[in-house]
Structure 1
């Protein structure tokens, strides 16, 4: 299979792009503010082979919850941000490994 050369990007302890292996990524469908449910789902995803996980941060409460989630998981955490730079800053301050706008 032909792979187009892409830019290398580091996400937590993982590297994507360039000649690096393709990584499995998924996104949670829980309310990010529900830390217990979100962490439980991420643990199931990790057990299934997920290597990077995305969580939405549509509110300041969700962005702040990323801090507790990050402490309890073993894979890089990407914060999905919509429309508000303040949420992106809060997600970064709370340990998100990457921001997806």
Structure 2
């Protein structure tokens, strides 16, 4: 296995997961379920976490998906990242 020198970075946190600053590299994945399908999305997040995933991204293509994030967040402990494109209103709703 080859080694390489990592760049010095400032540590931040996504949820309880530290990133940068010399911490171990975190594993991130993205759900391929519809974010409006709470049951399937929660199941997939739990499966990803069981497989070693530290952070999970969710697609938020519309307001319905943004409004459903709270239902998902309440059922999982894994830090989530909302993948939002081009619509600040979706970002505001996702943070609500």
Alignment gaps of 5+ in structure 2: none
- The correspondence for 1:31, drawn from 34, 41, 45, is 34
Q: CA RMSD in A?
A: 0.9
Alignment correspondent of 1:7: 10
Alignment gaps of 5+ in structure 1: 94-101
- Rg (Cα) greater in structure: 2
Give TM-score, length-normalised by structure 1. Answer: 0.88
Alignment correspondent of 1:84: 87
Query: Number of paired residues?
Result: 93
- The correspondence for 2:52, drawn from 36, 46, 49, is 49
Q: Distance in 1 between matches of 2:14 and 2:37?
A: 24
Once the two structures are TM-superposed, the CA of residue 31 in structure 1 deviates from its matched residue by: 0.5
Runs of 4+ in 1 over 4 A off after TM superposition: none
- The correspondence for 1:70, drawn from 61, 67, 73, is 73
Give TM-score, length-normalised by structure 2. Answer: 0.92
